[in-house]
Amino acid sequence: MSACLEAVPGDVDVLEHGMGIGSTPLIHGFPRLKKMLSFETEPQWMTCDTCKDEEAKKKHVILNPTPDQFEEKTKEVFSSMSQCVVFVDGPGKERGAILKMAMSKGAPYIVEHDAECFSLAEVQERRYHAQLHGYSAWQYVGENPETAFYVKLEAPMPAVDQRLVVSL
């Protein structure tokens, strides 16, 4: 995630799907954070205070769409934040919609945590959409095998140790 944030020139907008004790403080601590929107459907995470930085909190908006509002809210967000870094770590039932929308809108970097939890059909669908929308797809190996990331072909590759990633 850090490498993708660093690869974006200038200030960075972030769309986070699923707040957490790792991702949310990491994003809050990024010095060039411009705006952060978090989609969160789990009530226990909505009240979880993972960040102590008051300035970062001012840049953070938490959205809590109901299942029937989710697709509409996602479209609204991407219409205003198309060039954001996207971090996907929320419930599985919403992941496909977020990934497809992020790719169709051309987000330069998309990071998907817990990516090994999916069936072969879901992995193939992700590869298909990555190719369709002009992304290279990668997976970390070794220390963090469950993280995949997608890089828009015209965007610079994040500064990651090439020995720790494989093409999907």
Residue range of the domain that includes 157? 2-167
pLDDT score of 91: 80
Is pTM beyond 0.75? Reply is yes
Q: For the chain, how many structural domains are there in total? A: 1
Low-confidence ranges of the chain (pLDDT < 70): 47-52, 82, 116-118, 142-145
**Cβ burial 52-69 (10 Å sphere, 16+ → b, else e):** eeeebeebbeebebeeee
Q: What is the pLDDT of residue 14?
A: 94
Long-range contacts formed by 21-30: CB under 8 A, 24+ apart: 21/48, 21/50, 23/87, 23/89, 23/113, 24/50, 24/51, 25/50, 25/51, 26/1, 26/2, 27/1, 27/87, 28/53, 28/56, 28/57, 28/60, 29/53, 29/56, 30/2, 30/5
Which CATH number goes with the domain that contains 154?
3.40.50.150
pLDDT score for 90:
84
